[in-house]
Amino acid sequence: MTIEQDPQQRIVYKASCEHSFFKKLSWKKTTRNSKVPYRRAKNKFDDGTNIMTCEEVKSHIAIVLNSYWWSSKMPYGVSLTKLNDGRGTNSAMVRFWPGLKFELTIPRWARQRLVILHELSHVMTAMVGGVDDHGPIFCANFLNLVERWLGEPAYIEMESLFDKHKIESRQGELI
């Protein structure tokens, strides 16, 4: 999918990166063979919190998918079939399988609650039969997930970032 086909993708990512819940990896300068400087990611984010393990990510997803809140929005169950640790990719992504199943690839930088909720928004949007990518339905789902799982202050902040970047969402339309 190109930017022309998904015009909100870049600005949704930009707004998410500006949110206070988005964490950046902490880097350390080191050398390889004591000659060539390079950067290596630490196992912590800049704020000192640890990167979630794949097991913690699975647990967080299970809590959301097994919640009454999720089942009240999604009348049929959906399940995570596989969680890839993201080696070899810089992007978090969801792949769908027949039978209401999905696979999530999540590199180290993306193992944080805001990014996981972003990916679950894609799942929500797809489960209601939409291919909306980062469009208004996806954004409404993302805002609803942020409000439920990160709280009202995080929701208000994300909503104001969406307004700032002129991101369309079908607010109030619970999908």
Using one digit for the tens of pLDDT, what is the confidence trace for 106-145?
A: 998 899 999 999 999 999 888 876 677 888 889 999 999 9
Confidence of residue 1 (pLDDT cuts 50, 70, 90): very low
Confidence of residue 18 (pLDDT cuts 50, 70, 90): confident
pLDDT at residue 38 greater than cutoff 50: no
| Strand order from edge to edge, sheet including 79-84 | 79-84, 101-105, 93-97
Give the residue from 87, 89, 88, 79 showing the smallest Cα distance to 58: 79
Task: Indicate the pTM of the whole model.
Answer: 0.83
* pLDDT, mean over the chain: 82
Which is more confidently placed, 171 or 99?
99
Q: What is the C-alpha to C-alpha distance for residues 71 and 68, in angstroms, rounded to an integer?
A: 5
Q: What is the C-alpha to C-alpha distance for residues 171 and 114, in angstroms, rounded to an integer?
A: 18
Confidence of residue 32 (pLDDT cuts 50, 70, 90): low
Which is more confidently placed, 40 or 9?
9
Cβ distance 6 to 13 under 8 Å? no
Q: What is the C-alpha to C-alpha distance for residues 171 and 140, in angstroms, rounded to an integer?
A: 5
Say which DSSP state 34 is in: T
Confidence of residue 60 (pLDDT cuts 50, 70, 90): very high
pLDDT at 27: 60
Confidence of residue 96 (pLDDT cuts 50, 70, 90): confident
Residue 19: CB atoms within 10 A of its CB come to 16
